[in-house]
Amino acid sequence: MRDAPTGPPPGRAAPGRATATAPRDRGIPGGARRTAWLLAVAAVAYNAWLLEFLLPTGLDPRHSYVSELYAADQPFHALFGTVEIVTALLVAAGAAPLTGRPESGLAPEAGRWAVAGQWALVAFAASSVADVVVPMRCAPSVNPACEAVNPWHTATSALAHAALFASMALMVAAAARGTRWPLIRRWGPWVLGAALGTSVCTVGALIGRPGWHGVPQRAHLLLVGAWLALLAVSLGSRRIGGSRRIGGSRRIRGRGRHRAG
Q: How do residues 172-205 score in pLDDT, each as one tens digit? A: 999 998 767 899 999 999 999 999 999 999 988 7
Q: Identify the pLDDT of residue 149.
A: 83
Secondary structure (H, E, C), the chain: CCCCCCCCCCCCCCCCCCCCCECCCCCCCHHHHHHHHHHHHHHHHCCHHHHHHCCCCCCCCCCCCHHHHHCCCCCCHHHHHHHHHHHHHHHHHHHHHHCCCCCCCECHHHHHHHHHHHHHHHHHHHHHHHHHHCCCCCCCCCCCCCCCCCHHHHHHHHHHHHHHHHHHHHHHHHHHCECCCHHHHHHHHHHHHHHHHHHHCCHHHHHCCCCCCHHHHHHHHHHHHHHHHHHHHHHHCCCCCCCECCCCCCCCCCCCCCCCC
Query: Rounded to two decimals, what is the model's pTM?
Result: 0.77
Taking CA 214 as the corner, what is the angle to CA 209 and CA 217, rounded to the nearest 5 degrees? Answer: 105
Q: Alpha-carbon distance 144 to 186, whole Å?
A: 44
Q: Alpha-carbon distance 70 to 136, whole Å?
A: 8
Q: Identify the pLDDT of residue 19.
A: 43
Q: Identify the pLDDT of residue 203.
A: 87
Close Cβ partners of 250 (under 8 Å, ≥ 6 residues apart): none
Q: Alpha-carbon distance 149 to 136, whole Å?
A: 8
- Reported as a single tens digit per residue, the pLDDT across 10-59 is 545 444 444 444 334 344 456 778 889 999 999 999 999 999 999 999 99
**Mean per-residue pLDDT of the chain:** 80
Q: Identify the pLDDT of residue 179.
A: 64
Q: Work out the pLDDT band at 6, boundaries 50, 70, 90.
A: low
The mean pLDDT of 63-90, rounded to a whole number, is 96
- Are residues 131 and 144 in contact, defined by beta-carbon separation less than 8 angstroms? no
Q: Identify the pLDDT of residue 198.
A: 96
Higher per-residue pLDDT: 113 or 91: 91
> b or e along 225-238 (b: 16 or more beta carbons within 10 Å of the residue's beta carbon)?
bbbbbbbbbbbbeb
Q: Alpha-carbon distance 18 to 192, whole Å?
A: 50
Q: Identify the pLDDT of residue 210.
A: 77
Return left, alpha or beta for 16; rule: phi > 0 is left, psi -120 to 50 is alpha, else beta.
left
Please determine, for residue 115, whether its predicted confidence score (pLDDT) is greater than 70. Answer: yes
Q: Identify the pLDDT of residue 230.
A: 95
